Structure 1
Amino acid sequence: MKKSLTWSLTAVTCATLALGTALPAQASTSPAGATVSGPSARVVPAGSTLSAQGRATLDSIIAQLPADWQARRDAAVARAHIEHSPAREVLDRSVANAIDPGDYVCNPTPLDGYVDQILSGVDNDSLITLALAGVLDFPTYEAIFYGSPKDPDFALPAAYAGTLTTTFGYAQRFWDVKLEDIQLMAMHGEMTVDVARMTRMVKLFYGLDDAKAVKLARQLVGIVRSDPGLRNGRNPIFTLNAFAFSAQGETDPLFRGIKDKMVFGDGILDALKALGLNAVGPKAVLGHEMAHHVQFEDNLFVSDLTGPEATRRTELMADAFGSYFATHTKGLNLAPNALLQVTKTFYDVGDCQFTSPGHHGTPNQRQAASSWGIAVAASGDPLKVLPSLRLDAKFERVLPQLVASDAPKVPAVPAA
């Protein structure tokens, strides 16, 4: 079974474009009612904010792709079982009602403002074109298929390497399942200005031959380089994620043989620092991602729940398990003030995307799950770590309380 829990931006951006919703604020150069032609007319509505020059660029890119390029792009994403994430969902302002939003208190968190901030300087044409071409997901898939901790291109940032490596070792030894085969590495947005690496991803996504792939890769690299807001690939939007990946039991030859991985993007580390969570946030996120690997080993992704409720369950469980590890004396044994930072980390990455298959839980729910994990560790035997399946049994019993409605009830108006 493969499952990649990550923060992917392509599909949500494309869905937003299909609705004609602008991403960064920019005056529309395609007025309502204007006639729009060319290949881009089929994927970007006439009322969008894509400029005439932007349409010309997009037309030239689409002309180089196979006729079924969108299906190929989406298939590449679907094959790895990429799920939505809070950071990705912040960009999607279209929320419907699978889990009734009226049941929950769910307000914007600092993450919302941070994503708006990092997008504010990005040219709208660049963002739309790169999103449609799948480039916003290229660093993630490069790490999955080609990343290695021994490769300098995937080395952890120097400022975080010590903390992440040490925490990773503690987490591997803490749990009662096999975790020693996981590879810890980073992904960097600068790969989007490397023609060779971009060529490799174009071939993976679209199956182009070498010459065509190089030509398209050069054009995409040129877009990234020409937009100051993208900072030569260093804008956090390219790597605003951390994820756990396992191909355990996979029969797809494309994935067979890929090592279990935990990948940190520069973007998520930048975000944690900007949110004031630099001291503890990376440790909390690593604990959460290692909890996903525990779920892989214990087959805990299987449940009777479906859709957003199923993902919410596994994500809240990872919050709880990660916080249990952070608190326990045989884990990180964090001090009380640091534990407050742990719960705040999970609160700040909660989301209100109730219909998304990647719904992780509201800020309140994620904070509650984290607090529960802390409480279990604090009230248990400090010399013994609960077996992961026993901790899961405890979590399953408390889950209904963690996701219970917390919205104020409006009294019914009596009939006149």
Structure 2
Amino acid sequence: MKKIQFLASIILVNVILVSCSKEETYVEDELNAVYATTSSANKYSELIQDRSVNLDLSVNDFAFYDDLSRAVAPSECSTTDFDAAINETIAENLDQLGAEFYSIYSDINFYMSLVDTSPQYFGENGRYTNLMKKRVREHEKFWDMPNEVAVKGQHNSNFENESLLRETLPFLYGPTADIDALIAEISAINEESTFLIENPYVSFDGFAINIDNFFGKGQGDIIVISDGIVSVMEKAGIDADIVWTGILAHEWGHQIQFNNTWGYPTEAGNIPEATRSTELEADFFAAYFMTHKRGATYNWKRVEAFFDLFFNIGDCGFEADGHHGTPLQRMDAAHRGYLLAQSAQKKGHILSPEAVHNAFVAELPTIVE
């Protein structure tokens, strides 16, 4: 979880973010190899100057602490098939401008996801919009959270939406920035770089966020799911409906955490351990909903195939503040969530979030062993 503060006009907004997108470290070498051949003093350099956004990456929720006293004890972990799938996707049309401006486009896309209050769609041309509306209604009923969370899609096409760019760019460049000039430069980059408009990795977010009262009542709890993550997993052979459902269920687990002040058996000061606990619990919540008789009703075999790839997003960054747990730990957490759902299968009883949390905490020491 990250706490992000940014300045928009004279309003300072506290943002609490749980980002569940893949850590970017595994593509840095490939991107930097291209960037090294590109002059940083090119005609687009003004786009990256005088950025007013202030990113504070301190952690301050779920009993997180300011100082790292010790890292999570390393356990069995290795690179995964998901890493390879993403690297293959990036290599399809990575160009020099893509390498240089990917990070900026990623930041802009993040803020566009928060600012956009237009009717949302999911997948290219809204292919999965009806599915997602159905899943959102199911989550609201299952967890008794009606009209509480705004679920949004993230798309590469946002960079061709001038009105959305015009609304978003002041968050990054300040209220006095020449927005017309910035939009013109983005348009020029779009024309020359196929990567920044076409590659799924440019829209590759999946996160839950809470911004109380900033976008108005009912707009503070947000989940964003990008087209990119789903398309890469679909290309790897996972049914898209399970991917959309699984990511939504995981992020909804974080929204449940936002609503509570739960504790976890973690050592004071161990930020990676605390982050891992909340991420593994979100996996536990996701599997509980996806396999419950009154949830998404998937059988374990179908869900396991999704988890097998999705939990490859698990990482080996044992000392990283954003450590999500290893792929093996994430799969174990999900399987135990499934078993919890099956234990009440005959009656179809839905446990309260508090009861599911208590069940997870009891299992956590075994999961991380």
Question: Would you say same fold, with TM above 0.5?
Answer: yes
User: Aligned pair in 2 of structure 1 residues 403, 76: CA closer, same or farther (>3 Å)?
Assistant: same
SS of 1:355's equivalent in the other structure is coil
Of residues 38, 44, 48, the one that matches 1:51 is: 38
Alignment of 1:213-252 (within 5 A): 213-230=179-196, 233-248=197-212
Larger gyration radius, structure 1 or structure 2 = 1
Deviations 1:314-334 (A, max 9, x none): 110010011011111111221
Compared with structure 1, are the counterparts of its residues 322 and 271 closer, same or farther at alpha carbon in structure 2 (3 Å cutoff)? same
The yes-or-no answer on 1:338 pairing with 2:302 is yes
Instruction: Tell me how far 1:217 sits from its aligned partner.
Output: 2.6
1:351 equivalent to 2:338? Answer no
CA contact (8 A) 2:89 2:232 kept: no
Residue in 1 that maps onto 2:98: 126
Matched, 1:98 2:111: no
CA distance, structure 2, for counterparts of residue 206 and residue 24 of structure 1: 25
Aligned CA distance change for structure 1 residues 166 and 79 (closer, same or farther; 3 Å):
farther
Q: Following TM superposition, by how much is the alpha carbon of 1:203 offset from its aligned partner in structure 2, in angstroms?
A: 1.4
Q: Could you tell me how far apart the structure 1 residues matched to 2:57 and 2:202 are?
A: 19
Structure 2 Cα separation of the partners of residues 244 and 369 of structure 1: 19
Structure-1 residue corresponding to 2:10: none
Deviation at 1:59, TM superposition (A): 4.1
Choose the corresponding residue for 1:23, options 31, 37, 50.
Answer: 31
CA deviations over 1:268-316 (Å, ceiling 9, x no partner): 2212212222242221111111111111122337775542211111110
What does 1:165-244 correspond to in 2, within 5 Å? 165-176=133-144, 178-209=145-176, 212-230=178-196, 233-244=197-208
Q: How big is the shift at 1:205?
A: 0.8
Partner of 1:164: 132
**How many residues align structurally?**
340
* Partner Cα distance (1:79, 1:156) in 2: 32
Cα displacement (A) at 1:240 = 0.9
How much has 1:125 moved relative to structure 2? 3.9
Separation in structure 2 between the aligned mates of residue 208 and residue 387 of structure 1, nearest angstrom: 45
Shift of 1:243: 1.9
Aligned mates of 2:334, 2:174 — CA distance in 1: 43
- Aligned partner letter, 2:337: G
1:71-150, aligned counterparts within 5 Å? 72-73=52-53, 75-76=54-55, 78=57, 98-100=71-73, 103-120=74-91, 121-131=93-103, 134-144=104-114, 146-148=115-117
Distance 2:140 2:288 in 1: 14
Q: 1:331 to 1:7 in 2, by over 3 A?
A: closer
CA distance 1:330–1:280, shift in 2 (3 Å): same
C-alpha spacing 1:351/1:194, structure 2 compared with 1 (3 Å):
same
Q: CA deviation at 1:109?
A: 1.8
Alpha-carbon shift at residue 50 of structure 1 (Å): 4.1
| Distance in 2, Cα, partners of 1:274 & 1:355 | 32
- In 1: Cα distance, 2:220 partner to 2:228 partner: 23
C-alpha deviation, 1:119, in angstroms = 1.9
- How far did residue 340 of structure 1 move? 2.2
The match for 2:224 among 263, 270, 273 is 263
| TM-score normalised per structure 2 | 0.81
Q: Work out the CA distance in 2 between the residues paired with 1:319 and 1:369.
A: 6
Equivalent in the alignment of 1:412: none
1:396 aligns with 2:361: yes
Q: For the residues of structure 2 that align with 1:269 and 1:356, how far apart are their CA atoms?
A: 25
Match of 2:234 among 256, 262, 273: 273
Are residues 1:6 and 2:14 paired? no
Equivalent-residue separation in structure 1 for 2:299 and 2:135 (angstroms): 15
Q: TM-score, normalised by structure 1?
A: 0.72
In the aligned structure 2, how far is the partner of 1:7 from the partner of 1:317?
13
Deviations 1:209-235 (A, max 9, x none): 25x2221232133113211233xx232
Q: Runs of 5+ in structure 2 lacking a partner? A: 1-13, 61-69
RMSD: 3.1
Offset of residue 181 of structure 1? 2.1
The residue aligned with 1:408 is: none
| Same amino acid, percent of matched pairs | 23
Is the Cα contact below 8 Å between 1:284 and 1:345 reproduced in 2?
A: no
Other structure's SS at 2:237 match: coil
SS of match in other structure, 2:41: helix
1:16 CA displacement: 9.0
CA gap of 1:16–1:379, structure 2 versus 1, over 3 A, is: closer
Aligned ranges for residues 292-307 of structure 1 at < 5 Å?
292-300=254-262, 306-307=270-271
1:263 aligned partner, one-letter code: V
**Structure 1 residue 113 displacement after superposition:** 1.2
Q: Larger % of strand: which?
A: 2
